């Protein structure tokens, strides 16, 4: 699978696409549930409601956001790969989190749901030919290709794993030590 050209996605997603360094993204796509689970290893359930500053998502809400993103990106991939040219609307990620009930769930439950979503999406991805992967559609008012959406999906998860390591865990460890 090829990297998407910059005209295949909104510049907003350039950071996510830049995080995907593999030429063949199938392995990266399939490894991510384990990588996400590894980012949460050793965190007790009490840490689930920790946010690194007021107004930021908790660690559990972060997983819920990734689940929502997985479903939204998969929906876009499915529609565009099937040559549905109807423009696809955007979504309010904060509104979705507000009603997610993520903090009432366990880490294992949330991570299991992400894994189940990703595993289902692996079947979709494995069965897309080159024509489907390069097919263009419109999402959130911007042209986007299927292969860009796959790269964005991978980069999105990587971005948030990085945020967990950089912003949540150092502050959480400092809070736990005091």
In angstroms, rounded to a whole number, what is the distance separating the alpha carbons of residues 123 and 26? 11
Q: What per-residue confidence (pLDDT) applies to 35?
A: 96
Neighbours of 161 (CB within 10 A): 19
1 lies in some domain: no
Q: What per-residue confidence (pLDDT) applies to 174?
A: 54
pLDDT in tens, 51-86: 999 999 999 999 999 999 999 999 999 999 999 999
Q: What per-residue confidence (pLDDT) applies to 178?
A: 47
Instruction: Using pLDDT thresholds of 50, 70 and 90, give the confidence band for residue 23.
Output: confident
Q: In the structure, how many helices (H) and strands (E) does the chain have?
A: 8, 2
Q: Which residues contact 157 (CB under 8 A, 6 or more apart)?
A: 32, 35, 36, 66, 69
pLDDT in tens, 130-177: 999 999 999 999 999 999 999 999 999 999 999 999 998 876 555 555
For 29, what's the count of Cα atoms within 13 Å in the CB-facing half-sphere?
Answer: 25
Check residues 32 and 42 and name the one with the higher pLDDT.
32
Angle at 143 between CA 129 and CA 67, to 5 degrees: 70
Q: Is the pLDDT of residue 5 over 60?
A: yes
Check residues 25 and 86 and name the one with the higher pLDDT.
86
Instruction: Using pLDDT thresholds of 50, 70 and 90, give the confidence band for residue 24.
Output: confident
Closest CA to 60 of 102, 101, 95: 102
In angstroms, rounded to a whole number, what is the distance separating the alpha carbons of residues 35 and 55? 26
In angstroms, rounded to a whole number, what is the distance separating the alpha carbons of residues 21 and 158? 11
Q: Which residues contact 164 (CB under 8 A, 6 or more apart)?
A: 39, 40, 59, 62
90 lies in some domain: yes
Note whether 25 and 150 are within 8 A (CB).
Answer: yes
102 lies in some domain: yes
Domain that holds residue 126: 6-177
Looking at every residue in the chain, the average pLDDT score rounds to: 93
Q: Tokens 């990588």 appear where?
A: 35
CATH number at residue 84: 1.20.120.450
Task: State the average pLDDT over residues 102-118.
Answer: 98
Angle at 65 between CA 114 and CA 124, to 5 degrees: 45
Q: Is the pLDDT of residue 2 over 90?
A: no
26 lies in some domain: yes
Number of domains in the chain: 1
């Amino acid at each position: 699978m090829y990297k998407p050209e910059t005209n295949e996605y909104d510049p907003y997603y350039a950071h996510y696409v830049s995080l995907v360094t593999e030429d063949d993204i199938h392995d990266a796509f399939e490894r991510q549930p384990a990588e996400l689970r590894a980012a949460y290893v050793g965190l007790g359930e009490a840490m689930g409601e920790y946010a690194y500053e007021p107004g930021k998502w908790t660690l559990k809400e972060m997983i819920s956001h990734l689940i929502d993103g997985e479903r939204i990106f998969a929906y876009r991939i499915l529609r565009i790969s099937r040559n549905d040219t109807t423009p696809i609307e955007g979504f309010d990620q904060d509104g979705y989190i507000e009603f997610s009930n993520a903090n009432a769930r366990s880490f294992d439950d949330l991570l299991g749901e992400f894994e189940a979503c990703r595993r289902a999406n692996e079947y979709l991805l494995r069965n897309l030919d080159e024509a489907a992967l390069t097919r263009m559609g419109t999402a959130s008012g911007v042209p986007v290709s299927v292969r860009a959406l796959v790269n964005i999906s991978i980069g999105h998860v990587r971005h948030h794993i990085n945020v967990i390591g950089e912003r949540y865990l150092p502050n959480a460890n400092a809070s736990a030590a005091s």
